Structure 1
Amino acid sequence: MNTLRTPSEAKLWLQDRGISIQAFALAHNVDAPTCYQILAGRKKGLRGKAHDAAVALGIKPPSDD
């Protein structure tokens, strides 16, 4: 069972693995500034690019389209 992360847990997860936010964004084809905003809590990842970034970071579950 996959557990979701909080934005601060996701940030620590990246730091623990030595992955920059920029490198993560490039590897997951998401927008780096949006990733920064998600991790800072300024965006919730409700739709669009922000949602994609939140899913990639493990903050939100993937949608069941």
Structure 2
Amino acid sequence: MQKVMTAEQVKAQFHSKGITVTAWAEEHGFKTSYVYAVLNGRMKGRFGTAHEIAVALGLKAKVQAA
């Protein structure tokens, strides 16, 4: 089971590993502005790309198909 983290935990993990949000976004094929929006709570990550970002960041658990 995937561990779900808070946005602050994700930011701390990036900082401790020396990863920038921009580098992470480019590596995963997302727009940097969207990643910042998800991390800062402007996009809730309920649907579409925002949801994909939230799952990739570890903010939400990956939904298993039934």
Do they superpose with TM above 0.5? yes
Mapped to 2, the partners of 1:31 and 1:55 lie a distance apart of: 15
2:41 corresponding residue in structure 1: 41
Between the aligned partners of 1:55 and 1:2, the Cα distance in structure 2 is: 10
Flag as ranges the 4+ runs of structure 1 deviating above 3 A.
none
Structure 2 runs not aligned, ≥5 long? none
| Bigger radius of gyration | 2
TM-score by structure 1 length?
Answer: 0.87
How many residues are matched? Answer: 65
- How many percent identity over aligned positions? 35
Q: With structure 2 as the length reference, what TM-score do the two structures score?
A: 0.86
- Bigger relative contact order (CA 8 A; separation at least 6): 2
- Structure 1: gaps of 5 or more residues: none
